[in-house]
């Protein structure tokens, strides 16, 4: 059996995306975990940070099932969800520029921007996000659908995101599932520069959407002020995070959105027997 796929990236965070409305994959099978791990391998497979299955679900345009490159189900993926929307539009699973879809953490709305008929940007609305928890000096925990430790640093270039991120990711206080780790430089002009170590990929990725959102929310909580939108620069490009700050102490960040490019790379098919 051959299975068609498309590959997308969101600011360098890349994904294999498959229309699973014909049940090519059984999402809960141990064989599926091994297959996804092989498909995401950058030398022996297609190569990706994760794999996304697009499926039917009642009351929404589609359901997105996300798997990290280790083959295991992942939590909410910001860049992956934007790529899933672009894929669903290209496969005519949605019509128009707006959609409602389902992920591991519930329902999300999204809007698409096109130029000359080609998707250029996708904006996804995230869930309400509780105020960051201070962990240590300049370190916060933020859950934007995926857990992130956000660490503010002065010299981002000197940070070894893999070595330092892995050490924090496996600390006992984040057991048993661990956490993602984002290192952030907050410029005086309000811009953020971010490196993220992602659990499940077990490496630094070129970009992380939920990490960008966590960095922006932590930056606002730490600095205060009137800024309600941040440009977040990753190794793979720029993302925009906007939100409504908590109305009162102890309440949540509302109207959180993540916007950036969702880029089609190539398409093909693979044989399950050949992987």
Residues identified as active-site:
77, 208
| DSSP H or E stretch at residue 83 | helix 78-90
Instruction: Report, in angstroms and rounded to the nearest whole number, the Rg of the chain calculated over CA atoms.
Output: 18
Q: Which residues pair with 258 in a beta bridge?
A: 124, 241
* Cα(226)–Cα(228) distance, integer angstroms: 6
Q: Which helix (H) or strand (E) holds 49?
A: none
Is residue 178 within 8 A of residue 169, CB to CB? The reply is yes
Task: Give the DSSP letter of residue 155.
Answer: -
Cα distance between residue 254 and residue 257, in whole Å: 9
Q: How far apart (Å, rounded) are the C-alpha atoms in residues 41 and 45?
A: 5
Q: Provide the angle, in degrees to the nearest 10, between the axes of the packed helices 209-223 and 78-90.
A: 130
């Amino acid at each position: 059996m051959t299975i068609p796929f498309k590959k997308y990236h969101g600011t360098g965070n890349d994904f294999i995306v498959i229309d699973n409305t014909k049940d090519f994959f059984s999402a809960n099978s141990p064989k599926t975990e091994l297959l996804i791990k092989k498909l995401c391998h950058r030398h022996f497979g297609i190569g990706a940070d994760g794999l996304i299955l697009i499926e039917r679900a009642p009351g929404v345009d589609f359901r997105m099932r996300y798997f990290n490159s280790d083959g295991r189900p992942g939590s909410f993926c910001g860049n992956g969800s934007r790529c899933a929307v672009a894929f669903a539009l290209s496969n005519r699973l949605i019509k128009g520029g707006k959609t409602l879809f389902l992920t591991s953490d519930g329902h999300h709305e999204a809007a698409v921007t096109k130029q000359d008929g080609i998707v250029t940007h996708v904006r996804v609305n995230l869930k309400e996000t509780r105020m960051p928890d201070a962990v240590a000096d300049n370190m916060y925990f933020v859950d934007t659908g995926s857990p992130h430790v956000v660490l503010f640093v002065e010299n981002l270039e000197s940070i070894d995101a893999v070595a330092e991120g892995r050490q924090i990711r496996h600390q006992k206080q984040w057991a048993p599932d661990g956490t993602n780790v984002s290192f952030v430089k907050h410029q005086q002009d309000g811009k953020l520069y971010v490196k993220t170590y992602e659990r499940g990929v077990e490496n630094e990725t070129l970009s992380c959407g939920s990490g960008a959102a966590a960095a922006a929310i932590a930056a606002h909580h730490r600095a205060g002020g009137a800024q309600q939108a941040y440009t977040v620069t990753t190794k793979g490009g720029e993302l925009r995070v906007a939100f409504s700050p908590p109305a009162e102490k102890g309440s949540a960040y509302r109207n959180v959105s993540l916007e950036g490019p969702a880029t089609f790379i190539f398409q093909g098919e693979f044989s399950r027997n050949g992987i």
